[in-house]
Amino acid sequence: MDFEVVAVHSGRMDLALAALTGAEFSRTTTHLNTATCGIMPRRSVAAVRELAEAAGAGEAAGFGDFGRVERVRELFARLVGVHPDRVSLGSAVATHVALVAAALPPGAEVLIPEGDFASVINPFVVRGDLKVRFAPLEGIAGAVGAGTALVALSAVQSADGRAADLAAVREATAGVGARMLVDATQAAGWLPFDASPYDYTVTAGYKWLLAARGASYLTVSEEAQESLVPLHAGWVAAASMWEATYGPMAELARTARRFDESPAFLAYHAAEPALELLLDVGAGAVHAHDTVLAGRYRAGLAELGHRPVPGSAPIVSVPGLADRQPALAAAGIHTAARAGSLRASFHLYNTEADVDRLLNALADA
């Protein structure tokens, strides 16, 4: 079903999306923690249940459907504006980043924002023979130097929702011939995100993309594909995978599929209807919905005398309030404690009532 994008008036939430909340999601808590883990829509829950029941009954359908996996590749490609041939499917962001890290020559300089998410950092650090340099997020473009081989950064910071100036970083990397890796985990799904300008992007599928752990996405430009070695290539990485189940494969896939991992079918069966839902609603409508709720929360925090980290993302962190998270959880309000702050995050299934409940809980303390 297609949802018409309804204009947001006076900071009010889109009524069409408010109706969608009840139709597509069956949450029983005030879940304001999508930046940690999203809620699967009913259609995804049904797809997982169907596969699990078939597997439990020993039916052939319980093996998993590679056709659905390929549709997920196509749907994600549509979501981020690239051709499906640029999309590789895996299980975790760190695994994708590790492929990029493994391709760098010894001594190569990797520039990363201070305090970025661990999965963006660790694969480069643990190699031990790379020069990993850190700079403040706001100055990352200016920190790119002639010796920089790669800049790796999150489009939106997990800890506090700060957004990177990706265009400025891309201009800086292009100026010195460096490559760029963008972690879109905290962006794709609520922020209209175009992966095409970047050499590599990585995205987890279980947060803003509403699926489950075990689905993740790597996009690789055609030029950059030649720089990576498919170190974990199994039979699914072959040009003709059903002819490559035994012995060395005759030929790798000629697209980014050669970097695929064998799919976690439960996660990918969940991902197909979740991505369809996001595409049906539309990036503009999701962005408006999520940011209006975050704006309402920021305004309420100001009235309570709290100062969140500046920004406009639907990830809102308030320094000094991390100790409130356990009491909120006990009251059925799910947030997160990150880097000394209380972090709330707002997505499709949230409403103004959710925002007000959190604000009232903070006011009552």
Q: Mean pLDDT, consecutive 10-residue segments, the chain of 365 residues?
A: 31 60 86 98 97 96 96 98 98 98 98 98 98 98 98 98 98 98 98 97 98 97 94 95 93 96 97 96 93 97 96 97 96 96 96 96 87
Last residue of a domain, one of 247, 264, 280: 280
Residue 116 belongs to some domain of the structure: yes
CATH code: domain of residue 251: 3.40.640.10
Query: Could you give the number of structural domains in the chain?
Result: 2
Query: Are 306 and 250 within one domain?
Result: no
Q: Is residue 344, in this structure, part of any structural domain at all? A: yes
Predicted local confidence at residue 4, as pLDDT: 29
**Per-residue confidence (pLDDT) for residue 206, from 0 to 100:** 98
Question: Are both 250 and 274 inside the same structural domain?
Answer: yes
**Which residue has tokens 């369809």?**
276
Q: Do both 315 and 286 map to the same domain?
A: yes
Q: Is residue 50 part of a domain?
A: no
Residues 6+ apart with CB under 8 A from 40: 48, 210, 211, 212, 270, 274
Query: Rounded to an integer, what distance in angstroms lies between the CA atom of residue 308 and that of residue 233?
Result: 44
The neighbour count for residue 284, using CB atoms within 10 Å, is 10
Co-location of 119 and 264 in the same domain:
yes
Cα separation, 100 vs 142, whole angstroms: 23
Domain boundary among 280, 304, 334: 280
The total number of residues written for the chain in this structure: 365
CA distance 252 to 140: 36
Phi, then psi, of 88 in degrees rounded to 5:
-115, 145
Query: Does the residue 57 lie in any domain?
Result: no
* C-beta separation of 76 from 272 below 8 A: no
- Residue 201 forms part of a structural domain: yes
Contact criterion met (CB below 8 Å) for 6 and 307: no
> Do the Cβ atoms of 321 and 336 come closer than 8 Å?
no
Please indicate, yes or no, whether residues 129 and 271 belong to a single structural domain of this protein: yes
Please state the φ and ψ torsions of residue 158, each to the nearest 5 degrees: -60, -40
Closest alpha carbon to 185 in 204, 198, 169: 204
Two structure tokens written together for 46: 């049904």
Q: Mark whether 213 and 353 lie in a shared domain.
A: no
Is 292 inside any structural domain?
A: yes
Q: What integer pLDDT is reported at residue 311 of this predicted model?
A: 94
Residue tagged 């695994």 (tokens): 95
**Domain span including residue 215:** 64-280
DSSP secondary structure letter of residue 261 = P
Shared-domain flag, residues 97 and 241: yes
In a domain, residue 8? The reply is no
pTM of the model: 0.94
Same domain, yes or no, for 307 and 345? yes
Question: Which CATH number characterizes residue 294's domain?
Answer: 3.90.1150.10
Closest CA to 279 of 175, 213, 180, 188: 188
Residue 260 sits in the same domain as residue 290 = no
Same domain flag for 260 and 208: yes
d(CA 297, CA 304): 11
pLDDT on residue 339: 92
Among residues 280, 314, 333, the one where a domain terminates is: 280
Distance from C-alpha of 339 to C-alpha of 301, rounded to nearest angstrom: 19
* Block residue for tokens 């999965």: 119
Residue 290: per-residue pLDDT: 95
Residue found under tokens 């279980």: 206
Asked whether residue 175 falls in the same domain as residue 197, the answer is yes
Question: What is the torsion angle, in degrees rounded to the nearest 10, for the CA atoms of residue 198, residue 241, residue 272 and residue 223?
Answer: 10
* 203 shares a domain with 96: yes
Assigned domain for 52 exists? no
